[in-house]
Every structure is written in structure tokens, then in C-alpha cells.
């Protein structure tokens, strides 16, 4: 193809981008370059493509909107907000007969993630919707704390990854968003009300497709988002007043925020005129308290609830080996060498792609507890791992980025392969 008019805007452009058929409208791209991913609801043409050993998502969109969304996603990454990684914007596309083609935004596909409709296509527990809403509430609070107004909050514009027994949510569409120094209460309220409305509609759509448990109350789940958001926002931002002789409450407040998964970088503490009462308010709150601690101790970079579970196992290892008096870093090194790494290595290589290593470890710990209860004895980790592999993991769907699927192979039973206009647009909305 002729690339003389093609313009690629990217921080680190991959030369392999030039090998893709940019002269062809995105909806007509040949099957041999596509990666099959679950079908979604969309308003844009989106395709998933294998490139340089990874999967990228390509969305056809207006040039000015593409550049704006690309810059917003870059800013969100700098703010450490869970969102997809922007790769670049490509403009100057023309067909062989000279017809102008839309610009495209390119992002990395988020490994081990699934859109909400794909999750409900699997055999999940009845409280799945509640857990997804909880993850979305945490994401929305983090966005609002960073000053980001989303403008189109929905399950469709979010990707979910398993995080121990919960989910983590990632923003995948910044098209309608805007970044401010701080959001007004009205801006936050609008985002929250729109989220509630969209989520109720999406859950009703799932119910109509018989993908939702019959006992699920869609409206109460939408209301639960508002409640969970408000609870978390207040915990992270409200000013607490107490008597000057109750200074222990400062440490208690920090512990509360740590338990929610947030580090406190800075507190504002003021006293009244006569010094008899104190007022405390968090000024800087960063998410990822447990994941940062685990990263410091072991070098493992995992999600927050996975880190919490792994730190609990580290504490159990420390107690079982009677090493409470040893330096935490030394104990963590031995736990990594003697517990975590051998457990993951015991999983056959061809099955490790089904889940992230941290999620594998969490599920093996759960399985160990289950089989120990059944056997009425403490089942060793090696035995529990073998049981988990044979009785659970072999029957699990593959949640890694769909690098190995040929076009036409569907990763989820009952879903079409990547198809016509807009397929798979949960990555963008």
C-alpha cells in the first residue's frame, strides 16, 4: 500500500503498524489480521488485531476526537488511573481510488480482561452484577478524585479483570470525558446519575437475553452504585472532628483508608482557637496501598485485592515458620521462593495462560481451603495445586488476551466471532 500520506502520532510508534491494511475501511479488514474477541454493543467500528505478539484495539473515529481522546488517555495514565494504554492516532488514510477514510485511535488490549456481557455469558455467581458495580464505583471515585468528568459512565465503557474474589474496573472510553483541576458537586452528581440510568438499562438488556439471574433486581443494583460511591467518596474526603486528647483517631483514620486500599500521602490537621478540638481531612489519597506494599516486598506487581490476599498468606507463612522477629523483607523473599513461585511453576505451562499468576495463586488458596474442609485435614499446597489444576483450571475459559485464537474461533460459547460494524466495542463504548 502507499503510505506517503499516512500520519502516525505515537510516543513510540511500532513499525509493524505500517503493515496493516489502512487503505481498507476498518469494517472490511481481512480475517487473517483480526483477533477474535467477544462481541459487544457499539456506536463505532472497532477491530482487534494481532501485532508484534500482542493484541491492539483499533477504533475508527473523527480525527479531532481521536486526538483528543488519545491525549486524555495519556493524561489518565500519568495520573495512574485504571484505563487502557493509548498507542497512537493514525490519519491520512485513503482508499486505492483516493477516497478519504476516517482516522483511527489505537490502544492496547487489556490482557486478562473481559467486557461485562462476556462475563455474564459464563457461569458466574448470582452476585456478579453486584461485584461489577462495586468495582465500577471504585473506578468512578478514583476518576473524580483525579478531576476527570467521564460523561458516559456505563458497564459497556468499562473492562473488568478478576481481582481475587472481586473485580477491578478499567476505563476504556474517554471520548466524552474532560479533565479538570477539581470537579464540582454538580459534575459528580451528573456522572453518578447517568451511571445509574445506563447500568439499569444494561442489566435489563441482560435480563431480556436471559443472561441475568431471575432474582436480580436491576433497579436496586443501580441504586447500590450510588450508595457505594457515596460511601467511598465520603470515607476518602470528609473532614473528621474530635477532641485534642483523642489523637489516636488520626492513626485510626489512616488505618480505615488503608483498609479501603488507599494510601494517605498528606493530611490536613487543624485545631480550634483554644486547641481543645482537632479537625482532620485527607488532602492526598492514592489508591493501591496493598499492591504497593507487595511490590516493595516481593517485586510482584498485582491488583489491590490480589495483593491483600497474598500479603495475608505471607503473614501466615511468617507465623508458621516462627519468624515474627525477622525483617519483613527477608521473610517475603523466602515466601516468594518457597511458596509463590513453586505453586505457579506447578501449573502446566499450557494452562497458565487462562488466568494471571496472582489470580491463579488466589484461587489455589481458596481451593486448598475447600479440599482441606472436605478431607478434614490440612492439605499441602502441592496436593491442593494438583487438585485445582485437574478439577477446576482445566475447565476454565481462557481469559488471557486472545492471542492464539484464529478468526472464526469464539472465545466464549454462544458468542459470535468478531463481526460486523461495531463488534467488540466494549473497549470504547
pLDDT at 3 over 50: no
Within 8 A by CB and 6+ apart from 27, the residues are: 45, 47, 60, 420, 421
Torsion, Cα of 88, 116, 165, 80 (10° steps): 30
Quote the cell numbers at residue 132: 461489577
125 or 366, which is more confident: 366
Mean local confidence (pLDDT), 183-208: 94
pLDDT of residue 357: 93
The residue ranges of every structural domain in the chain are 7-109, 114-237, 240-287, 290-395
pLDDT at 243 over 90: no
- Would you identify the CATH topology of the domain 114-237? Transferase(Phosphotransferase); domain 1 (1.10.510)
C-alpha–C-alpha distance, residues 263 and 292, integer Å: 9
Pick from 60-74, 217-231, 313-327: least confident: 313-327
Residue with cell 483511527: 104
Q: What is the mean pLDDT of the chain?
A: 85
pLDDT band at 1 (very low <50, low <70, confident <90, very high): very low
C-alpha neighbours within 13 Å on the C-beta side of residue 61: 28
Q: In this structure, are residues 136 and 225 in contact, taking their beta carbons and an 8 Å threshold?
A: yes
Q: Which pTM does this prediction carry?
A: 0.78
Is 3.30.200 the CATH number for 7-109? Answer: yes
Residue 390 CB coordination number (10 Å): 10
Quote the cell numbers at residue 111: 490482557
| Cα 111 to chain centroid, rounded | 10
Q: In this structure, are residues 59 and 88 in contact, taking their beta carbons and an 8 Å threshold?
A: no
C-alpha neighbours within 13 Å on the C-beta side of residue 155: 31
pLDDT at 398 over 90: no
C-alpha–C-alpha distance, residues 380 and 304, integer Å: 26
Quote the cell numbers at residue 184: 464540582
Stretch (H or E) spanning 47: strand 46-51
Mean local confidence (pLDDT), 359-369: 94
Amino acid at each position: 500500500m502507499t503510505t506517503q500520506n499516512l500520519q502516525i502520532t505515537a510516543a513510540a510508534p511500532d513499525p509493524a503498524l505500517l503493515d496493516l491494511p489502512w487503505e481498507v475501511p476498518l469494517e472490511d479488514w481481512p480475517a487473517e489480521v483480526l483477533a477474535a474477541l467477544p462481541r459487544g454493543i457499539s456506536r463505532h467500528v472497532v477491530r482487534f488485531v494481532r501485532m508484534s505478539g500482542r493484541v491492539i484495539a483499533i477504533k475508527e473515529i473523527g480525527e479531532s476526537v481521536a486526538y483528543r481522546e488519545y491525549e486524555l488517555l495519556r493524561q489518565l495514565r500519568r495520573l495512574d488511573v485504571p484505563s487502557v494504554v493509548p498507542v497512537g492516532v493514525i490519519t491520512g488514510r485513503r482508499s486505492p481510488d483516493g477516497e478519504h477514510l476516517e482516522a483511527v485511535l489505537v490502544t492496547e488490549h487489556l490482557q486478562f480482561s473481559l467486557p461485562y456481557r462476556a462475563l455474564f455469558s459464563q457461569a458466574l455467581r448470582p452476585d456478579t452484577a453486584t461485584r461489577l458495580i462495586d468495582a465500577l464505583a471504585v473506578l468512578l471515585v478514583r476518576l473524580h478524585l483525579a478531576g476527570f468528568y467521564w460523561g458516559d459512565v456505563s458497564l459497556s465503557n468499562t473492562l473488568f479483570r478478576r481481582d481475587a474474589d472481586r473485580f477491578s474496573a478499567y476505563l476504556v472510553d474517554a471520548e466524552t470525558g474532560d479533565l479538570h483541576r477539581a470537579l464540582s458537586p454538580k459534575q459528580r452528581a451528573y456522572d453518578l446519575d447517568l451511571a445509574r440510568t445506563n447500568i439499569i438499562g444494561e442489566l435489563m438488556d441482560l435480563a431480556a437475553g436471559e443472561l441475568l439471574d431471575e432474582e436480580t433486581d436491576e433497579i436496586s443494583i443501580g441504586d447500590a452504585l450510588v450508595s457505594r460511591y457515596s460511601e467511598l467518596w465520603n470515607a476518602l474526603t470528609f473532614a473528621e472532628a474530635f477532641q485534642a486528647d483523642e489523637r489516636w483517631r488520626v492513626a485510626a483514620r489512616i488505618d480505615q483508608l488503608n483498609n479501603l486500599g488507599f494510601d494517605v500521602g498528606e493530611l490536613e490537621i487543624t485545631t480550634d482557637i483554644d486547641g481543645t478540638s482537632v479537625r482532620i481531612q485527607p488532602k492526598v489519597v492514592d489508591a493501591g496501598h496493598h499492591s504497593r506494599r507487595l511490590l516493595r516486598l516481593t517485586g510482584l506487581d498485582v491488583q489491590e485485592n490480589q495483593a491483600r490476599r497474598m500479603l495475608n498468606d505471607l503473614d501466615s507463612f511468617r507465623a508458621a515458620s516462627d519468624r515474627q522477629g525477622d525483617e519483613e523483607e527477608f521473610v517475603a523473599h523466602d515466601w516468594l521462593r518457597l511458596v509463590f513461585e513453586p505453586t505457579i511453576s506447578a501449573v502446566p505451562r499450557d494452562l497458565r495462560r487462562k488466568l494471571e499468576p496472582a489470580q491463579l495463586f488466589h484461587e489455589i488458596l481458596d481451593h486448598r481451603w475447600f479440599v482441606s474442609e472436605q478431607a478434614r485435614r490440612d492439605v499441602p499446597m502441592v496436593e491442593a495445586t494438583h487438585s485445582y489444576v485437574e478439577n477446576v483450571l482445566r475447565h476454565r475459559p481462557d481469559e488471557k488476551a486472545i492471542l492464539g485464537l484464529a478468526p472464526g474461533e469464539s472465545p466464549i460459547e454462544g458468542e459470535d466471532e468478531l463481526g460486523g460494524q461495531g463488534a467488540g466495542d466494549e473497549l470504547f463504548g
